[in-house]
């Protein structure tokens, strides 16, 4: 039995609206790595997204958020696919199981370039999942999507996020950092190997 949703706007669509939503989602790129599937987000993923953003895990993202702010954040990244052809993926294990987190190529209000972002559930940490998912998203963004540039904006106190960027080979861009009023680390991503960590996409 499916658990009830918290609010009506979090309920899945029904009828023709659900069919349209499914067709749109099917057109979004699906990326696969050795261990992971990056797929189009579904409305049912919001609970996991909200759990992350409403917890102390979001402290480096101006959080914790309340549920309304988490919903608006989730919605803007999903909408990015329609508005800019770039957005958010949900991360799953290829063997199945719950959503492990999210990786995105987005442009929030105030961003100056497309940003590669990643956030995981607590249970998914410490397994290299953020690096593997972000590598696939980076290679797609700078390869098939042909975006002109890609950065990660990292809170100076967020050492874990900085380590992911560094594992991906991203380089600090001090000139870009100097353009912000608030302290921020700007990691500039360069294209990976020709094949990268991405095995397939549609």
What is the tens place of the pLDDT at every residue in 139-198? 999 999 999 999 999 999 999 999 999 999 999 999 999 998 889 999 999 887 544 455
Residue 200 lies in a domain: no
The domain in which residue 56 lies consists of 30-188
Number of domains in the chain: 1
Kindly report the pTM of this predicted structure: 0.91
Task: Please name the residues in contact with 74: beta carbons below 8 A apart, sequence gap of 6 or more.
Answer: 41, 46, 49, 50, 88
- The whole-angstrom separation of Cα 76 and Cα 73 is 5
Is 71 in contact with 46 (CB distance < 8 Å)? yes
Residue 36 lies in a domain: yes
Residue 125 lies in a domain: yes
Q: For 14-71, write each residue's pLDDT tens digit.
A: 999 999 999 999 999 999 999 999 999 999 999 999 999 998 877 777 769 899 999 9
Whether residue 199 is predicted with pLDDT greater than 60 in this model: the reply is no
Domain holding 143: CATH number? 3.40.630.30
Residue 126 lies in a domain: yes
Task: Please list the residues that pair with 39 across neighbouring strands.
Answer: 90
Residue 197 lies in a domain: no
What is the four-CA torsion angle of 30, 31, 32, 35, rounded to 10 degrees? -110
Whether residue 1 is predicted with pLDDT greater than 90 in this model: the reply is no
Q: For 70-95, write each residue's pLDDT tens digit.
A: 999 999 999 999 999 999 999 999 99
Confidence category of residue 110, pLDDT binned at 50, 70, 90: confident
Using alpha carbons, select from 66, 15, 21 the residue that is nearest to residue 43.
21
Residue 7 lies in a domain: no
Residue 68 lies in a domain: yes
């Amino acid at each position: 039995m499916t658990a009830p949703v918290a609010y009506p706007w979090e309920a899945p669509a029904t009828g023709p609206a659900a069919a349209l939503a499914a067709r749109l989602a099917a057109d979004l790129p699906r990326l696969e790595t050795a261990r992971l599937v990056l797929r189009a987000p579904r409305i049912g993923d919001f609970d996991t997204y909200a759990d992350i953003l409403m917890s102390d895990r979001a402290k480096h993202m101006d959080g914790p958020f309340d549920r309304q702010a988490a919903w608006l954040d989730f919605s803007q990244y999903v909408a990015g696919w329609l508005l800019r052809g770039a957005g958010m993926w949900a991360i799953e294990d290829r063997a199945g199981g719950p959503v492990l987190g999210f990786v995105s190529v987005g442009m929030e209000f105030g961003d100056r370039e497309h940003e590669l972002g990643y956030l995981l559930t607590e249970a998914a940490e410490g397994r290299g999942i953020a690096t593997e998912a972000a590598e696939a998203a980076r290679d797609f963004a700078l390869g098939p999507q042909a975006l002109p540039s890609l950065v990660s904006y990292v809170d100076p106190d967020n050492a874990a996020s900085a380590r992911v960027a560094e594992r991906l080979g991203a380089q600090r861009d001090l000139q870009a950092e100097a353009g912000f009023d608030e302290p921020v680390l700007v990691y500039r991503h360069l294209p990976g190997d020709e094949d990268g960590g991405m095995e397939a996409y549609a």
